[in-house]
Amino acid sequence: MSDMQIFRETVEKHLETLQLYVPIVARVHGMEHPEFHEVKKQCDALFEKINAADGGATNLPDLKDEFAALRAVTRGYEVPADTCESYEAVYAMLAELDQAYSR
- For the stretch 62-89, pLDDT in tens is 999 999 999 999 999 999 999 999 999 9
Res 57: pLDDT: 59
Phi, psi of 96 (to 5 degrees): -65, -40
SS3 content of the chain, % helix, strand, coil (to 5): 75, 0, 25
Res 59: pLDDT: 74
Radius of gyration of the chain (CA): 13
> Domain containing 40: what range?
3-101
- For the stretch 18-63, pLDDT in tens is 999 999 999 999 999 999 999 999 999 999 999 888 755 567 889 9
Structural domain tally of the chain? 1
For 21-60, b/e burial (b = at least 16 CB within 10 A) is bbeebbeebeeebeebeebbebbeebbebbeebeebeeee
Res 87: pLDDT: 97
Res 2: pLDDT: 79
